A and B are shown apart, each in its own frame.
Chain A
Amino acid sequence: MSSPVMTKEGKVRDLRSKEEIRAERRKGRTGVYLVLPGLLVLVLFFALPVVVLLAMSLYTRPPGAEIGQFVPALQFSNYATVLGAYWPELMRSFGFALIATTLALIIGYPMAYLVAVRLRERKLLQGILLVLLIAPFFSSFILRTQSWKQILADEGFVAQTLKAVGLLASDGHLTATAFAVVAGLTYNFLPFMVLPIYANLERLDTRLLEAAGDLYASPLTTFRKVTLPLSAPGVFAGTLLTFIPAAGDYVNAALLGNNRNTTMIGQVIDSRFFRVIDYPGAAALSFVLMVSILILVTVYIRKFGTKDLM
Chain B
Amino acid sequence: MKQKLGRWLIPVVGGLAFVYLLVPIAYIFAFSFNDAGRTNLEWRGFTWDNWANPCGAPAVCESLANSIQVGVVATVFATALGTCIAIGLVRYRFRFRNLTDVLIILPLATPEVVLGASLLAQFLNLGWELGYGTIVISHVVFCMSFVIVTVRARVSSLDPRLEEAAADLYASPRTTFWKVTFPLLIPGIVAAALLSFAMSFDDFIITNFNSGNYQTFPKFIYVAATRGIPAQANVIGSAMFLLALIVVIIGQVMAHRKRKALEQAQ
Q: Which residues from chain A sit less than 8 Å from chain B, CB to CB?
A: 1, 24, 27-35, 37-39, 41-43, 45-50, 52-53, 56, 107-108, 110-111, 113-115, 118, 123-124, 127-148, 150-151, 153, 155, 187, 190-191, 218-220, 240-241, 244-245, 247-251, 255, 265-266, 269-270, 273, 279, 282-283, 286-287, 289-290, 293-294, 297, 310
Contacts and interface: CB of A to CB of B under 8 A. Distances in A.
B2 A218 contact: yes
A42 B103 contact: yes
A134 B93 contact: no
B170 interface: no
B95 A28 contact: yes
B109 A240 contact: yes
B248 A135 contact: yes
Contacts of B21: 132-133, 136, 187, 190-191
Contacts of B113: 248-250, 265-266, 269-270, 286, 289
B205 A251 contact: yes
Which of B31, B115, B201, B218 gathers most chain A CB within 10 Å? B115
Interface residues of B, number: 98
B111 A244 contact: yes
A218 B2 CA distance: 9
Interface in B109-133: 109-115, 117-122, 124-125
Given A142-B221, A150-B41, A190-B21, A49 B118 contact: yes
A124 B27 contact: no
B92 interface: yes
B94 A118 contact: no
B190 interface: no
Which of B24, B25, B117, B125 gathers most chain A CB within 10 Å? B117
Contacts of B194: 134
Contact of A127 (B41, B97, B117, B252): B252
Contacts of A35: 84-85, 88-89, 94, 96, 100
B189 interface: no
Contacts of A41: 81, 140-141, 144
B10 A50 contact: no
A26 to B, nearest CB: 8
B23 interface: yes
Contacts of A39: 85, 96, 100, 103
B141 A113 contact: no
B22 A132 contact: yes
Contact of B201 (A123, A138, A153): A138
Nearest to A186: B20
A244 B202 contact: no
Contact of B221 (A28, A143, A150): A143
